[in-house]
Amino acid sequence: MTAYKCVKITLLVFVCVLSSYAQSNFTSKTIGIGVVVADLDRSLDFYVKGIGMVKTGSFTINEEFGKRSGLTNGVATNVTILKLENSPDATDWKLMSFGSKSSHPKPAHIQDDTGMQYITIQVKALQPIIDRLSQMKVKFLGSTPTPLNDKAQFVFVQDPDGNFIELIGPLQ
């Protein structure tokens, strides 16, 4: 399974968990999302410097545990944990890399594939994020920002691996 499909499936599970019926059987209201990326440093720059996530920790999956658990076929990896804020109630966005590029083409639109296609991040102010992403030369998709209503704007971008990121909030 490709990293892209793994992220899509993980976020689909996340949406299902949010239903009130499903939450009644869980010990936490958050879910950790694992994202396999081609270049960890490049993705960290995008998510930390561009989007504004914070690094909250890291851990290693060693060869033995990777194989025994079914996570990998015995390949070790380091996992970097990012969150929207440094809080135990914030969802873990876990980045890891195996040093290889995706085996599928980068999608141009959300209808180009099935499964999880994008995440939505609600923000207090879009303009600082737009400014940071612009400085990083991140391509904005569509007309950015796009008005949603009298209070919120919509911005759509892709991370370095092609995962779509939807940002919603007021400009200031």
What domains, with CATH codes, occur in the chain? Answer: 3-102+110-169 (3.10.180.10)
* One pLDDT digit (tens) per residue for the chain, 172 residues: 555 554 555 545 555 555 555 557 888 888 899 999 999 999 999 999 999 999 999 999 999 999 999 999 999 999 999 999 999 999 999 999 998 877 777 888 878 887 778 899 999 999 999 999 999 999 999 998 999 999 999 999 999 999 999 999 999 9
Q: What is the dihedral of CA 128, 18, 9, 43, to 10 degrees?
A: 20
Residue 167: strand pairing partners: 121, 155
What's the rounded Cα separation, in Å, for the pair 65 and 81?
A: 19
What's the rounded Cα separation, in Å, for the pair 84 and 47?
A: 10
Determine phi and psi for 56, rounding to 5 degrees.
-115, -5
Angle 101-3-24 from CA coordinates, rounded to 5°: 160
pTM metric for this prediction: 0.81
Q: Tokens 């270049």 identify what position?
A: 39
